[in-house]
Amino acid sequence: MNNLAIARVLAEIGDLLEIKNENPFKIRAYRNAAETIVHLGTQVAEMTGAERLAIPGVGKDLAGKLGELVETGTVRYHQELLAEFPPTILDLLHLQGVGPKTVSLFYSGLGIRTLDELRQAAGEGRLRALKGMGAKKEALILKALDERQRVAGRRLLAEAHDAAATLVAALRGHAPEASITAVGSLRRGCETCGDIDILAAGAPAAIMEAFTNYQLVERILARGSTKSSVLIWGGFQADLRVVPRESLGAALQYFTGSKAHNIALRDRAIQRGFKLNEYGLYRLDDESLVAGDSEEAIYAALGLQWIPPELRENRGEIAAAEHGTLPRLIALGDLRGDLHMHTTETDGRADAATMASAARHAGREYIAITDHSKALAMANGLDETRALEHARRIRDLNGRIEGITILAGIECDIRADGSMDLADECLAALDIVIASVHGAFHQDEQTMTERILAAIANPHVDVIAHPTGRLILKREGYRVNTARIFAAAAAAGVALEINSQVDRLDLDDTLARAARDRGVKLIIDSDAHSPAALGNLRWGALTARRAWLEPGDVLNTLPVADFRAALRRNRR
Ligand code: DGT
Ligand code: CA
Ligand code: CA
Ligand code: ZN
Give the atom of ligand 1 at the shortest distance from the alpha carbon of 259: 19
350-381 per-position pLDDT tens digit: 999 999 999 999 999 999 999 999 999 989 99
Q: Which residues surround ligand 3, an ion (CB under 5 A)?
A: 195, 197, 239
Residue 94: pLDDT band (50, 70, 90) is: confident
135 in Cβ contact with 154 (< 8 Å): no
Residue of the nearest CA to atom 8 in ligand 1? 184
Neighbours of 442 (CB within 10 A): 11
- For residue 259, report the distance from its CA to the centre of ligand 1, in Å: 5
* Residues 357 and 445 grouped into a single domain: yes
What residues have CB less than 8 Å from 525, skipping those under 6 apart?
338, 339, 340, 341, 434, 465, 497, 498, 499, 500, 537, 540, 556
Task: Give a yes or no: residue 76 inside a domain.
Answer: yes
Residues with CB under 6 A from ligand 1: 184-185, 190, 193-195, 197, 254-255, 257-259, 262-263
- Which secondary structure element, helix H or strand E, spans residue 16, and what is its range? helix 3-19
Q: Which of 302, 322, 342 is the last residue of a domain?
A: 322
* Residues 383 and 506 grouped into a single domain: yes
* Residues 308 and 338 grouped into a single domain: no
Cis peptide before 258 (omega within 30 of 0): yes
Which amino acid is it at 39? H
Give the atom of ligand 1 at the shortest distance from the alpha carbon of 195: 2
Residue of the nearest CA to atom 2 in ligand 1? 194
Distances from the Cα of 386 to the Cαs of 49, 422, 425, in angstroms?
Answer: 51, 11, 14
Strand-pairing partners, residue 463, are: 434, 495
* Residues 238 and 260 grouped into a single domain: no
Q: Look at 222-236, 287-301, 556-570 and tell me which has the smallest mean pLDDT.
A: 222-236
| Stronger pLDDT, 95 or 227, i.e. the higher one | 227
CATH number at residue 531: 3.20.20.140
Give the atom of ligand 1 at the shortest distance from the alpha carbon of 262: 29
3-state percent helix, strand, coil for the chain, nearest multiple of 5:
50, 15, 35
* Residues 470 and 382 grouped into a single domain: yes
Distances from the Cα of 312 to the Cαs of 170, 175, 471, in angstroms?
Answer: 28, 29, 24
Q: What is the pLDDT of residue 153?
A: 80
* Residues 419 and 448 grouped into a single domain: yes
- For residue 239, report the distance from its CA to the centre of ligand 2, in Å: 8
- For residue 256, report the distance from its CA to the centre of ligand 1, in Å: 7
The DSSP output letter for 334 is G
- HEC string of 385-413 equals HHHHHHHHHHHHHCCCCCCCEEEEEEEEE
Task: Give a yes or no: residue 340 inside a domain.
Answer: yes
Residue of the nearest CA to atom 20 in ligand 1? 255
Task: Give a yes or no: residue 197 inside a domain.
Answer: yes
Mutate to test the pocket of ligand 1, among 161, 197, 226, 311 (most ligand atoms within 8 A of CB): 197
Q: Which of 322, 351, 373 is the last residue of a domain?
A: 322
Residue of the nearest CA to atom 18 in ligand 1? 257
d(CA 452, CA 414): 7
* Residues 523 and 434 grouped into a single domain: yes
Residue 131: pLDDT band (50, 70, 90) is: confident
Give the atom of ligand 1 at the shortest distance from the alpha carbon of 239: 11
* Residues 176 and 80 grouped into a single domain: no
DSSP per residue, 46-87: GS-HHHHHTSTT--HHHHHHHHHHHHHSS-HHHHHHHHHS-G
Task: Give a yes or no: residue 517 inside a domain.
Answer: yes
Which range of residues forms the domain containing residue 107? 3-150
- For residue 309, report the distance from its CA to the centre of ligand 1, in Å: 13
Give the atom of ligand 1 at the shortest distance from the alpha carbon of 254: 20
Nearest residue to 514 via CA among 563, 548, 478:
548
The mean per-residue pLDDT over the stretch 443-463 comes to 98
What end-to-end distance do the CA atoms of the chain give, in Å? 69
Task: Give a yes or no: residue 198 inside a domain.
Answer: yes
- Structurally, the chain folds into a number of domains equal to 4
* Residues 344 and 315 grouped into a single domain: no
Q: Look at 362-366, 487-491, 568-572 and tell me which has the smallest mean pLDDT.
A: 568-572
* Residues 122 and 238 grouped into a single domain: no
Residue of the nearest CA to atom 23 in ligand 1? 259
* Residues 118 and 76 grouped into a single domain: yes
Residue of the nearest CA to atom 13 in ligand 1? 184
Residue of the nearest CA to atom 10 in ligand 1? 184
CATH number at residue 192: 3.30.460.10
Task: Give a yes or no: residue 30 inside a domain.
Answer: yes
Nearest residue to 75 via CA among 87, 86, 63:
63
Task: Give a yes or no: residue 327 inside a domain.
Answer: no
* Residues 490 and 381 grouped into a single domain: yes
149-174 per-position pLDDT tens digit: 777 789 999 999 999 999 999 999 99
CATH number at residue 255: 3.30.210.10
pTM of the model: 0.89
- Average pLDDT score over the chain: 95
Q: Which of 243, 260, 295 is the last residue of a domain?
A: 243
Residue of the nearest CA to atom 19 in ligand 1? 257
Give the atom of ligand 1 at the shortest distance from the alpha carbon of 266: 29
CATH number at residue 117: 1.10.150.110
17-65 per-position pLDDT tens digit: 988 888 999 999 999 999 999 989 899 999 999 999 999 999 999 999 9
